[in-house]
Amino acid sequence: MASMFTRVLSGRNTAVIMAGLGAGTLVSSYFMPESGVSAGEKKKLYPPSADYPDLRKHNNCMASTLTPAIYGLLRDKLTPNNWSLDQCIQTGVDNPGHPFIKNVGMVAGDEENYEVFAEIFNPVIKDRHNGYDPTTMKHPTDLDSSKVKVPLVSPLGCLMRTMCCRRVCAQAAVFVGSVCHPPATRLH
């Protein structure tokens, strides 16, 4: 019954019918998206235990790391750019994953996510990167290309034709495109 009610109210024709009946204020407040309201200004109506996502059938690093205690601790925190924990974990909640392929299940919207939500990001990084702990370990960085030894012949005796090198770069103040709000996607 609830899904049928939601389906009926979500149609565009419902707004026209309600406006015709004189329910203009109700229509505009119900159907208009909130603009200019940050996640911090929204009042949480329910306790963290009620908002905790059901991750029992999910296969990702976030689902195996996130507990109700961690969620309750981080749910109301925000980064300086108004990123919330719910925005970070939304991709892992929406995509349960494949039983044989374990992905990350969360995204950092800006560089402050790693510090503000360290209680969830550090264990996820450790799980995904085979025990690398960002709090106690230092990633070795060596950009000297003369130390790279690439054999031209593979162990099977075949000559190497091509090589692919992938470079990933994160820039400060450039947010993740898939979760940006329209003002953040404009080029300045």
* Predicted pLDDT at 45: 76
Counting other chains too, the contacts that 51-58 makes at CB distance below 8 Å and 24 or more residues apart are 51/75, 51/86, 53/89, 53/93, 55/92, 55/93, 57/96, 58/92, 58/93, 58/96, 58/97, 58/105
The topology (CATH level 3) of 41-148 is Transferase Creatine Kinase; Chain A, domain 1 (1.10.135)
| Tens-digit pLDDT string for the chain (188 aa) | 454 444 555 555 555 454 554 444 443 334 444 455 555 555 567 788 888 999 999 999 999 999 999 999 999 999 998 899 999 999 999 999 998 999 999 999 888 999 999 999 999 999 999 999 989 988 888 888 788 777 767 777 777 777 777 766 666 666 665 555 555 545 54
* Cα distance between residue 90 and residue 79, in whole Å: 16
Measure CA 154 to chain center: 39
What token pair was written down for 162? 């091509």
Start-end of CATH 1.10.135.10 domains in the chain: 41-148
pTM of the full structure: 0.61
* Predicted pLDDT at 139: 81
